[in-house]
Amino acid sequence: MSEARAGRAARLHATGDVRVAEEPVRAPGPEESLVRVEAVGLCGSDLHWYEEGGIGDAQLESPLVVGHEFAGVVEGGPLDGRRVAVDPALHCGRCARCVEGHQNLCANVVFAGHGSCDGGLREYLSWPTAALHPLPDSLDGAAGAMLEPLGVAIFSADLGRVRLGSDVAVIGCGPIGLLIIQVARAAGARVVLAADPLPHRRAAAERAGAQLVVAPEDVAAQVDADVAFEAAGSDAAVDVAMQVARAGARVVLAGIPDDDRTSFRASLARRKGLTILMVRRMNAVYPRAIRLVERGIVDVDALVTHRYPLARVDEAFRVAAARTGLKVLVEP
């Protein structure tokens, strides 16, 4: 009998308490594959777990491996040797929402790095083969990990109905906001405004192709966007998004607030007749995300500013929480 495999994993035990330890690796089941994890992106929702011990109504009840933006190489099985992006959302395929095509709203979804399901901050994991997306040779593990936030940006643009010739505003220029800028421009829209309080993020938004890039307090009232995206997770950002949206526009809320509440001026939203949409992760967009990166239409590499080995994962979280860069990757 072969010896059981072991690998290191980073578990969050409490707020700000993440520990790396050797653990046994669960062998893949009949419809699963073993993935050697190459890269994991730290997302804003991961920071909620790290800084607050939970996200929304989900709280840390036992030590959890977080991380849902990840890619790796399959060892064994039908995809042996292939680099894959890992879809962190396992939907049931049977509930009413799944049958309707809204997999992101599945009532029975299991999500990596959330609740009781361990995520990607480890050297190895077994995951359903159907949720692994083979990558072309031109995409490395870091690019594969960036496909999950890119998928959220694509889904956000879908909700906003971004069209050829649309005028778009993006409030909040972290990785999701910057990817929304790229996706909107790829769809033929003009990004008339991007706003963020941090200078290095404003510089990144300008490089991504936004026309007017300002701090939120400097947003001019004359901006008249067909679609306004909020990607900051604050009421102030929602207010700015509604200010710059034209009458009858769509306002897409992609940010996750710290206190699990969002408020805005009802009179402004009502007077403009705004349609407000909430982003719930993403739907089935991985193939589109892969094509956009493979064809050079979206540049995900430009967003990666920090890389850390698994042994320095605590430092990686602290750097991500300080928001001194853009995307922080951990490379097990």
Closest CA to 291 of 115, 99, 154: 154
Domain with 189 in it: 152-278
Given pLDDT bands bounded at 50, 70 and 90, which one contains residue 2? very low
Q: Are residues 127 and 158 in the same domain?
A: no
Q: Are residues 199 and 246 in the same domain?
A: yes
CATH (domain of 141): 3.90.180.10
For residue 114, is it within any domain?
yes
pTM of the full predicted structure?
Answer: 0.94
Given pLDDT bands bounded at 50, 70 and 90, which one contains residue 116? confident
For residue 116, is it within any domain?
yes
**Taking CA 132 as the corner, what is the angle to CA 130 and CA 134, rounded to the nearest 5 degrees?**
120
Q: Are residues 160 and 138 in the same domain?
A: no
Instruction: Note the pLDDT tens digit of each residue in 144-192.
Output: 999 999 999 999 999 999 999 999 999 999 999 999 999 999 999 999 9
Q: Are residues 129 and 182 in the same domain?
A: no
Collapse the DSSP code of 22 into the 3-class scheme (helix H, G, I; strand E, B; otherwise coil) and give the result.
strand
Instruction: Note the pLDDT tens digit of each residue in 275-314.
Output: 999 999 998 899 999 999 999 999 999 999 999 999 999 9
Instruction: Note the pLDDT tens digit of each residue in 232-281.
Output: 999 999 999 999 999 999 999 999 888 889 999 999 999 999 999 999 99
For residue 283, is it within any domain?
no
| E strand or H helix at 203 | helix 199-208
Q: Are residues 160 and 38 in the same domain?
A: no
For residue 331, is it within any domain?
no
Q: Are residues 164 and 236 in the same domain?
A: yes
Q: Helix, strand, coil shares of the chain as percentages rounded to 5?
A: 30, 30, 40
Q: Are residues 166 and 253 in the same domain?
A: yes
| The pLDDT of residue 221 is above 70 | no
CATH (domain of 256): 3.40.50.720
Strand positions, DSSP E, the chain: 6-14, 17-24, 32-41, 54-55, 58-59, 69-75, 83-86, 89-90, 110-111, 124-128, 132-134, 167-171, 190-195, 213-214, 225-230, 245-253, 275-278, 304-309, 327-331
Please count the residues of the chain: 332
For residue 76, is it within any domain?
yes
Rounded distance, CA 152 to CA 189, Å? 18
Q: How many domains does the chain have?
A: 2
- For residue 208, give both structure tokens: 């991504």
For residue 293, is it within any domain?
no
For residue 127, is it within any domain?
yes
For residue 84, is it within any domain?
yes
